[in-house]
Amino acid sequence: MILGERLRTVREQKELSQGDVEKRSGLLRCYISRVENGHTVPAVETLEKLARALEVPMYELLYEGEEPPKAQLPGGKSGQKLWGSSGKDARYLRKLQQCLARMSEEDRDLLLFTVGKISKSKKQ
């Protein structure tokens, strides 16, 4: 199913109009219409706004199954516990996420650029 069709289906199941989604998401109704009709492909940030407005997890806009897809990492073994999924690591990861969310986009870009440079220099 195409993303726009899925968006329309979820919106109609929730009995919401495009105007309702506009008020909830801050996106223009004409933009929502363009996405639903396949004229525009939204950015990930826009998909997050739409998912929040529709009160659904973002995967529901991208995935047609009844349950969320199983997370699979390249080279990972099924049933293997992922770092940051529980305990102290999860608390650390959540705190890091909160700090990054408060940063300006320019500062996040600078941080990611710096981390990229450091990781490349360590590989050599």
Q: Where are the domains of the chain?
A: 3-62, 87-123
CATH architecture, domain 3-62: Orthogonal Bundle (1.10)
| Tens digits of residue pLDDT in 75-116 | 555 556 666 777 888 888 888 888 888 888 888 889 888 888
Is the pLDDT higher at 68 or at 33? 33
Measured distance CA(63)–CA(108) in Å, rounded: 29
* 3-state SS assignment for residue 41: coil
Nearest CA to 58 among 7, 2, 23? 7
pLDDT at 123: 61
Measured distance CA(57)–CA(104) in Å, rounded: 25
| Tens digits of residue pLDDT in 20-52 | 999 999 999 999 999 999 898 888 889 999 999
Whole-Å CA distances, 90 to 24, 93, 96: 30, 5, 10
* 3-state SS assignment for residue 8: helix
pLDDT at 109: 85
Nearest CA to 13 among 47, 60, 45? 60
